Amino acid sequence: MKALTLFKQRKVSLGLGAKLAGITLSEFIDLLKECNIQLNLDQEDVEEALQTARRVL
């Protein structure tokens, strides 16, 4: 699947990878896990996700 390859090569984000694959973000994360592909997350990504969650919730 092209989205997996691009994500693994760090050419697309988690969200864009899911969108390209035509599946939800949680489904894409599950697919990555099934394919033994690690998430490309660094400290900045985690902090941004936390800020977004705080703002939304």
- Give pLDDT tens digits for 18-47: 999 999 988 999 999 999 999 877 788 778
15 pLDDT band, cuts 50/70/90, is confident
**DSSP character for 34?**
H
Q: Which tokens hold the place of 15?
A: 């969200």
- pTM attached to this predicted model: 0.73
What is the reported pLDDT for 33?
A: 93
Termini Cα distance of the chain: 33
- pLDDT value at position 32? 95
pLDDT at 47: 82
